[in-house]
Structure 1
């Protein structure tokens, strides 16, 4: 055991010395493996970062939620009258489905918000106190809407931080009034700034909460009614919409998918037009996980190709080395070296090249996150317009290092060294000692 270890240690030292005789050639070979390993770590980290960002956006909708949104029909049978989710749908779903813990009605209307001479184009959102939790809002000042506000149809409102800043650049709006059309709403609270949610494929449009004013939905029904009239130059449009959205919260996660099917069947019985869409974040999460695995496999294959190219570089260098060292091989064979000794030496050299390249590649891979952030900042300063045009999920990407990618990359690099070093090593061992001694 000790003798075998000593012999192997001697082979490793001899291999390193042989490689150092041609430092530039060895360095270029190591560079190929380094780039391959780094690309494995970087591509998997970038893919993981994009995947996590997508899953966080979906999870923000609530894994236990079912979202039913009103959409305008495109069918030829649509006569321009009322459409979408109705109050009757809300009552039916809330009262007949035992798996639903809560149903949150939502109505959204674009409105001009006024305070004295100041005005701001915002959005009036009617809902219930549960909306605070559904939309993940946090109160900065005052309070959110209460059940009593809705029962008594009070003209109370809660402002988004941006609306409060635009209409009240100085002082606090609490206790003051916001005018919407001919109605005045007393400000009872202000919410903290909340980042906009990105659109989820074709299922959900992006939600911008920065221009919102929240009022009780019963107050909205009483003051504004269901009719929305939009007058633009050369165009007059009238829509009859009772609700923009109903968010259903299911008690048990394992009941979400089945409940969503029941919701669709229930609405299909009363809606002859395609005037609603059901979004189930849990379904989207499952699809995102499947897509993530496919994406990671694809990126891994692409990165592995880089390692194979590096392996071909090792084979090329080792074949050239065999030709250059033919006389050396003949001398070693003449002095008693066996074929397995020759194979071991050349195979060790190729493995040393691949392991050194792999170790340096892992070090480069660990720089993925700071390197990507530096590149992003550089691009934002150099080409700000082009960067601003990119989707948020791409522009704000933060690579997430995948722990198993490091041993994977090292393992692949070692395997590449062995696989692509075997042929040159065997070819060296098969040289005829006499012919090798005659070689100049």
Structure 2
């Protein structure tokens, strides 16, 4: 133990003789270790947010969505495309499939809302009363849609939609243009975190730019055909009866079986595959696999930084061996063995990499506060510079990344320090003593 302590003390003293060089060598390991922890933390944050969004869909839910097919003989020469779920599909699902607790339909389209000289390009959602709880929405003022509102021209505005139309005014009881008709505002929802696209199955969604009307009102007042004017002043459009049906089952064990029945039922009555059946619990498994692959990729990228740092360590240690050739010869002449020389130079290398690794871990643990500080600073300078999804992201330190980064940093020092140490140990003592 005493011999080991003397070796470590000697190694530290030798490094302190060249503080700048030793610091630059440790800097490469510091950057690599910090990079491992930071990249994994950001990846864990993104993955955690995605899994939260999937869980919000409900483990017992099955999402059936209308999807515009790539090609169709009926739509090939038409500017108005007809596709998607039908009201008959909703009726068939409810009537024929056992074990279903709820089947909630929804219709949505882009629509410009106007009041006086202000307008908002919003997503108009025709929905039922259950839509509020299903999407974790909360009422800020007023009320949500009720059964007695069916067929009436009433609307609930999302937070940013209300702000764009009324700024800081209370929108309750006010009239707004929805398309070509007036609607009365009966409520406003609280801000809700935007959701990112999940696995290519569900699109990104900003709930704060929505406007909600009764599904029956959507059908009566707007209809299934929605037309839009293109840049060439030509009308294009779509005919869609339902945009989505959210099916809830009584038992999570029946989700896969029910989804398969729904898919076969839709396939029987649809000529083209203009629908998608999404099972949230399958998305969770997919998200877990993606998370593992993403973390492996990030660790490889960060490992490259440690590799570069290790090459720097080896380069400096080789230069140190050359500079200390005479010292090595003296130590060998007074009885030091080759293993003692190897031990000394490996100790110096491990001190460098260990110091860089520990400092890198400390900096890596500051990932969350630094990320929030940079985000706040950028927002203060330019409020619209960052996309909304950045404000929902929070880095999550993975404990395993700390151990892995330290292991890699020390392993890098051991691997890249072994050659310089062996080169020093294999020197001929007589030739080393003659070195000037």
Q: Which residue of 2 aligns with 1:273?
A: 272
Give the C-alpha shift of residue 104 in structure 1. 0.9
1:204 to 202, 205, 209: 202
Cα 1:374–1:148, aligned 2, differ >3 Å: closer, same or farther? closer
Separation of aligned partners in 1, 2:435 and 2:178: 97
Aligned 8 A contact 2:192 2:208 in 1: yes
CA distance in 2 between counterparts of 1:303 and 1:433 reads 41
State the TM-score, normalizing by the size of structure 2: 0.85
Q: CA separation in 2, counterparts of 1:384 and 1:163?
A: 18
Rounded to whole Å, the distance in 2 between the matches of 1:358 and 1:365 is 10
CA distance in 2 between partners of 1:298 and 1:182 (Å): 52
Shift of 1:208: 3.7
CA apart distance, 1:213 = 3.4
SS at match of 1:24: helix
CA separation in 2, counterparts of 1:171 and 1:397? 31
CA positional deviation for 1:154: 4.6
1:408 is matched with 404
1:278 counterpart SS class? strand
SS at match of 1:404: helix
Hey, what's the Cα distance between the residues in 1 that align with 2:48 and 2:274? 32
Q: Is the 8 A contact 2:62 2:246 kept in 1?
A: yes
Higher alpha-carbon deviation: 408-417 or 165-174: 165-174
Shift of 1:62: 3.6
* TM superposition score normalised by structure 1: 0.84
Distance 1:110 1:297, change over 3 A: closer
Are residues 179 and 333 of structure 1, via their aligned partners in 2, closer, same or farther at CA, if it must alter by over 3 Å? closer
Conserved in 1, the CA contact under 8 Å of 2:193 and 2:392? Answer: no
CA shift for structure 1 position 35:
2.0
Name the counterpart of 1:24: 20
CA distance in 1, matches of 2:301, 2:115: 58
Asked if structure 1 preserves the Cα contact closer than 8 Å seen for 2:155 and 2:187, the reply is: yes
Cα distance in 1 for residues equivalent to 2:153 and 2:23: 75
Map Cα deviations across residues 44-85 of structure 1 (whole Å, 9 max, x no partner). 223223333433444444443322222334434115575321
The answer on 1:158 being equivalent to 2:163 is no
405-414 or 164-173: which moved more? 164-173
Asked if the contact 1:228/1:240 (under 8 Å) is kept, the reply is yes
Conservation of the 8 A alpha-carbon contact between 1:50 and 1:393: no
Matched, 1:423 2:419: yes
Q: Any conservation in 2 of the 1:120–1:166 contact (CA below 8 Å)?
A: yes
Q: For 1:256-312, what per-residue CA distance to the aligned partner results, in whole angstroms no more than 9, with x for missing partners?
A: 333322221110000002322233333333222212211211111121222222222
Please give the alpha-carbon distance, in whole angstroms, between the structure 2 residues aligned to 1:18 and 1:90. Answer: 78
Cα deviation, residue 90, structure 1: 0.5
Q: Which moved more, 1:302-311 or 1:156-165?
A: 156-165
Residue-by-residue CA offset, 1:297-350 (whole Å, 9 max, x unaligned): 111112122222222222232233333323323332332333332222222111
Contact 2:102–2:249 (CA<8 Å) still a contact in 1? yes
Equivalent residue, structure 1, for 2:219? 221
Deviations along 1:217-264, one digit per CA (max 9) or x if unpaired, are 234334444343556774344643321211122333443333322221
Give the Cα separation in 1 of the matches to 2:296 and 2:156: 47
Output one character per residue of 1:14-39: Cα deviation in whole Å (capped at 9) or x when no partner. 11112222222222222222222122
Q: 8 Å contact 1:123–1:213 — kept in the other structure?
A: yes
Q: Does 1:55 align with 2:42?
A: no
Match of 2:360 in 1: 361
Q: Distance in 2 between matches of 1:379 and 1:182?
A: 41
Whether the 8 Å contact between 1:334 and 1:433 is mirrored in structure 2 is yes
> 1:106–1:217: 8 Å Cα contact kept in structure 2?
yes
Deviation digits for residues 176-213 of structure 1 (CA, Å, limit 9, x no counterpart): 55565676655443222334433446433333434443
The equivalences for 1:32-431 within 5 A come to 32-79=28-75, 82-111=82-111, 113=113, 122-150=122-150, 153-165=151-163, 168=166, 172-175=170-173, 178=176, 180=178, 185-200=183-198, 202-230=200-228, 234-237=233-236, 239-375=238-374, 387=385, 392-393=388-389, 397-431=393-427
Structure 1 residues 370-423: Cα deviation after superposition (integer angstroms, max 9, x where no partner): 4444555666788988x55xx654687543322222222112222222222223
- Between the aligned partners of 2:88 and 2:315, the Cα distance in structure 1 is 75
> How big is the alpha-carbon RMSD for the aligned residues of Structure 1 and Structure 2?
3.3
Residue pair 1:54, 1:393 contacting (<8 A) in 2 also: no
CA distance in 2, matches of 1:321, 1:109: 70
Q: Structure 1 residues 274, 29: CA separation in 2 closer, same or farther (over 3 Å shift)?
A: same
CA distance in 2, matches of 1:78, 1:248: 29
Distance across 1 between alignment mates of 2:149 and 2:36? 57
Q: Is the 8 A contact 2:72 2:272 kept in 1?
A: no
In 1, the alpha carbon distance for the partners of 2:381 and 2:112 equals 38
Q: 1:112: Cα distance to partner?
A: 5.4
Offset at residue 132 of structure 1 (A): 0.5
